[in-house]
Amino acid sequence: MRRPAVPAADALIGVKRPLLSHGFVVLVDYMGDDAAVVQAARVSYGAGTRTVRDDRGLIRYLLRHGHTTPFEMVELKFLIRLPIYIARQWIRHRTASVNEYSARYSIVPDEYELPAPGEVHRQSARNRQGRGEPLDLAVGESFRADVDRISQEAYQAYQRALSQGVARETARMLLPVSFYTQWYWKVNLHNLFHFLSLRLDPHAQEEIRRYAAVVAELARTVAPTCFEAFEEFQLTAVHFSARELRAIRALLEGQDPTAACGAAGLALLREDGTPLRTGEGPEFLEKLSRVRGVP
């Protein structure tokens, strides 16, 4: 039996895709393609399935109805270099095989991330873990100067500790999360789609979204039909809860959004009458904006 091959993906293997100051994503290898998903599904569906729907239709059916096991038959392996503060977010996805560069065995390179001018933002008023509007350029430049100075001083202290005989596993304590690490990251297509659903979302941190966009582009090359279905049924889809469906019914009956939210028990106001910025009610209105095509 021959290994499935996608010529467009083969041409990308080993090609370094630069990101941020010193980062990159490389497609190291892959196993399987769109046909592998179809093949796995037809083991379950039986020999007669082919006469019912074509491969694309079957893939779309599987993803549309949450039959995700066949997508686990496709795997992708990446080499990724990224700042430690992004790596700590990335590693929360515990459904991949990871082997990271070891600062116990090797000396950490003098490479750290410095945000570009104008990319330093204030804390979001709505999202406790996200950024809001850009800060004044003077404040941003002051922050960038601090990152640059602290990173340089930390690396000098790290080198000094190494020269004095401090073990590498201990000396690395001196380095901030702006420094870079790298790892091999192997993941199946089902779990990759979950990763991309979260990390391509506008609420995700900008830097990890950039990495996710490159990973998505490579995954699309390996399994384009699967990726097309993922985009339509997961990435750009809008999902509604039971309460939200009650509100939609009220909207269809002619109620305005505020009344519909009230009828469905989706709060829009605090007890003191001030508007809520977060919660089920405001999130439902955001979904309605997406349905209407309002940015």
- Is residue 199 part of the annotated active site? The answer reads yes
CA distance 17 to 155: 26
Query: To which H or E segment does residue 181 belong?
Result: strand 180-188
Please give the backbone phi and psi of residue 132, each rounded to the nearest 5 degrees, phi first.
Answer: -115, -130
Select from 256, 234, 236 the least CA-distant residue to 247.
Answer: 256
The answer to whether 166 and 152 are in contact (CB under 8 A) is no
CA distance 234 to 190: 11
Tally Cβ neighbours within 10 Å of residue 268. 16
CA distance 177 to 173: 10
Q: Choose, from 199, 210, 246, 290, the residue flagged as catalytic.
A: 199
Three-class DSSP category at 95: coil
What region does 108 belong to: left with phi over 0, alpha with psi -120 to 50, or beta? beta
Beta carbons within 8 Å of 276's beta carbon, 6+ residues apart: 267, 268, 269, 270, 282
List beta partners, residue 81. Answer: 24, 182
Q: Identify the residue whose tokens are 């000094």.
A: 160
Three-class DSSP category at 97: strand
CA distance 63 to 259: 35
The answer to whether 45 and 54 are in contact (CB under 8 A) is no
CA distance 217 to 135: 31
- Residues marked as catalytic: 199
